[in-house]
């Protein structure tokens, strides 16, 4: 047997022995949910291990945007008043720990479509309940941006460099002697306290597959546009996110029929068509990504403990705004595990108990 294989087997065995002795929580899944939960455990000095099967297509495809408003109805996002302060403090703390700006504050500017939209935005800006997130409409001075009625500015927005955030977090946990095991989790070995943060992997989980988790296929593009020159996120039925000089991420599509993360020409054409409606400049497509978002029918996360197997827990279903939602609810979930509080009814898996025997 090859020496590297023997070493890996010994390392994996040692990791599981450490887990057994320490009685650490096992976090199954190293996507956004698992990483943000692990950070909360780390800060509270609670022993944990991450079981990483490296299934993270969503992290590569997602732009990691943080947007506290809903443009369709000009409302605030669900729980934005609670989520935004917490996520800002949380991600800034990790920026400091890792010594890198992975969480970036960046304004979102929404293309105002007509006079009615302009008036509605102004009403939100003058309403004290919304002023925290809705700023004034700016006149558009960029000839490459098609915004006749101006740009509505969102306060407190930004993005997380998601793939880099996950990778650097895993490296940090390894270096800090918190175990990361790279292997497929075996569902017939469920000793100790286990938290499933598997994303779409929950669909094949024999303990929690009754939960109504859906998969939403999404695609983004990476483009080069030398004459666009924007230093904010441009939005109108899509986003244009600057990632470096003249390079932008564009997205995203939504498809409920495609069940595997694969890029399509249809999504590429759709994004380029939408892009042509808000920018007028030459551009080049550099890359294209696809991923599957774990979403729930009622658009609320899945948090809780199995009704029969009290050592098995789930922290999943964060949906399209997982970067916003996960820090706050990771904190809630940790308090729940410590017996300090109950879970809010609208995120507890108890709301789906009736599906267990169907």
What pLDDT digit, counting tens, does each position of 247-293 carry?
999 999 999 899 888 999 999 999 999 999 999 999 999 999 998 88
pLDDT, tens digit, for every residue of 96-124? 999 999 999 999 999 999 999 999 999 99
Q: Is the pLDDT of residue 190 over 80?
A: yes
Helix then strand then coil, in percent of the chain rounded to 5, is 35, 25, 40
Note whether residue 147 is domain-resident. Answer: no
Confidence class for position 6, pLDDT limits 50, 70, 90: low
CA–CA dist 199, 268 (Å, integer): 25
N residues, the chain: 358
Note whether residue 198 is domain-resident. Answer: yes
The residue among 84, 77, 95 whose CA lies nearest residue 39 is: 95
Confidence class for position 5, pLDDT limits 50, 70, 90: low
Residues 6+ apart with CB under 8 A from 74: 120, 121, 124, 134
CA–CA dist 212, 114 (Å, integer): 39
Name the DSSP class of 348: B
pLDDT of residue 56: 61
Report, in angstroms and rounded to the nearest whole number, the Rg of the chain calculated over CA atoms: 22
Residue 276 token pair: 């042509």
Place of tokens 């029929």: 257
Residue 234, Cβ neighbours under 10 Å: how many? 26
Q: What is the mean pLDDT of the chain?
A: 91
Note whether residue 224 is domain-resident. Answer: no
- C-alpha distances in Å from residue 18, one per residue of 24, 176, 227: 8, 14, 55
pLDDT of residue 259: 87
pLDDT of residue 2: 57
Note whether residue 196 is domain-resident. Answer: yes
Q: Which phi and psi (to 5°) does residue 70 adopt?
A: -110, 110
Place of tokens 């946990």: 173
Number of domains into which the chain is organized: 1
Q: Is the pLDDT of residue 30 over 90?
A: yes
- C-alpha distances in Å from residue 108, one per residue of 105, 130, 238, 241, 347: 10, 16, 11, 9, 28
Note whether residue 99 is domain-resident. Answer: no
Provide the CATH number for the domain around residue 18: 3.50.50.60
Q: Is the pLDDT of residue 14 over 80?
A: no
pLDDT of residue 21: 41
pLDDT of residue 13: 47
CA–CA dist 91, 86 (Å, integer): 9
Note whether residue 181 is domain-resident. Answer: yes
pLDDT, tens digit, for every residue of 41-56? 999 999 999 999 877 6
For residue 312, what are the β-bridge partners? 194
Note whether residue 241 is domain-resident. Answer: no
Q: Which domain holds residue 50?
A: 3-61+163-212+298-355
CA–CA dist 308, 99 (Å, integer): 43
The bridge status of strand 194-196 relative to strand 312-316 is parallel
Residue 311, Cβ neighbours under 10 Å: how many? 13
Note whether residue 256 is domain-resident. Answer: no
- What DSSP line would sit under 270-281, residue for residue? HHHHHHHTTB-S
- Cis status of the peptide bond prior to 156, with omega within 30 of 0: no
Among residues of the chain, what percentage have pLDDT more than 70?
92
């Amino acid at each position: 047997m090859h020496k590297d294989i023997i070493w890996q087997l010994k390392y994996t065995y040692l990791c599981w022995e450490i887990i057994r002795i320490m009685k650490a929580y096992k976090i199954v899944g190293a996507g956004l949910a698992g990483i943000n939960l692990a950070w909360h455990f780390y800060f509270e000095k609670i022993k944990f291990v991450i079981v990483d099967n490296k299934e993270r297509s969503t992290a590569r495809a997602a732009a990691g945007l943080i947007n506290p408003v809903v443009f369709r109805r000009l409302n605030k996002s669900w729980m934005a008043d609670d989520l935004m302060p917490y996520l800002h403090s949380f991600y800034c703390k990790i920026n400091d720990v890792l010594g890198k700006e992975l969480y970036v504050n960046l304004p979102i500017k929404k293309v105002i479509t007509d006079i009615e939209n302009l008036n509605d935005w102004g009403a939100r800006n003058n309403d004290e309940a919304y002023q925290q997130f809705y700023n004034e409409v700016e006149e558009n001075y960029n000839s490459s941006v098609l915004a006749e009625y101006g740009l509505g500015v969102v306060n407190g927005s930004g993005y997380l460099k998601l793939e880099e955030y996950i990778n650097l977090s895993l490296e940090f946990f390894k270096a800090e002697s918190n175990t990361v095991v790279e292997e497929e989790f075996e569902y017939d070995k469920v000793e100790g306290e286990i938290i499933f943060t598997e994303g779409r992997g929950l669909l094949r989980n024999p303990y929690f597959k009754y939960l109504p988790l859906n998969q939403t296929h999404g695609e983004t593009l990476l483009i080069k546009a030398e004459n666009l020159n924007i230093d904010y996120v441009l939005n109108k039925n899509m986003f244009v996110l600057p990632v470096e000089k003249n390079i932008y991420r564009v997205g995203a599509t939504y498809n409920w029929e495609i069940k595997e993360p694969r890029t399509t020409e249809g999504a590429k054409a759709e994004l380029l068509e939408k892009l042509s409606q808000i920018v007028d400049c030459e551009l080049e497509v550099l890359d294209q990504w696809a991923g599957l978002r774990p979403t729930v029918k009622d658009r609320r996360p899945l948090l809780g403990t199995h009704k029969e197997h009290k050592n098995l827990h789930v922290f999943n279903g964060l949906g399209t705004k997982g970067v916003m939602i996960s820090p706050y609810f990771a904190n809630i979930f940790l308090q729940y595990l410590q017996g300090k509080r109950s879970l809010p009814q609208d995120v507890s898996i108890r709301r789906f108990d009736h599906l267990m025997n169907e």
